[in-house]
Amino acid sequence: MALHELFDKVAGDVESYSDLIAERAAGLGGTAHGTVQVAAKQTFLLPYPQGIADERQHVLAVSEAIAGFGESARDAIGHAATIGDAGTADLFTEISRAIDQQLWFGGSHVAPRQPLPRVQIRTPP
């Protein structure tokens, strides 16, 4: 039950982050291409492993995905700061902090405590 609630929270939070990012892009005059097809084509996240049933494996797989998202948020902070966009840097700082908290919560479900996975980020073509 605890993991189910954790995963529900992660999913809800990530959905709100994507809305915030899309709203910021639109506010800056851009277009948010948020369809499933575009997301699947341009994702840098590793595919979620199929066929796992073990709770620990699920926690690690979700942690790996959100760690990758957190790393991209930190990259976006640096890029926004470089171009002088403090508002966007602040948005991604807020997201980065929340992701770090989610990683901590996920890590608390892995016994014995082990470091969270290092993530290899793929850049879109």
> Which residue from 118, 13, 12, 1 is spatially nearest to 60, judged by alpha carbons?
118
Position 3 confidence tier, pLDDT thresholds 50, 70, 90? confident
- pLDDT tens, position by position, 86-112: 999 999 999 999 999 998 888 777 655
- pLDDT tens, position by position, 52-63: 888 888 888 998
Q: Is the pLDDT of residue 122 over 70?
A: no
Average pLDDT over residues 55-83: 92
CB 18 within 8 A of CB 72: no
> Which residue from 114, 16, 123, 15 is spatially nearest to 63, judged by alpha carbons?
114
- Residue 3: phi and psi, rounded to 5, are -70, -40
Provide the pLDDT for residue 27.
95
Alpha-carbon gap, residue 25 to 11, rounded angstroms: 21
DSSP-derived secondary structure letter, 84: T
CB 99 within 8 A of CB 50: no
Alpha-carbon gap, residue 16 to 24, rounded angstroms: 12
Two tokens, residue 33: 């291409």
Its pTM stands at 0.78
Q: Is the pLDDT of residue 119 over 90?
A: no
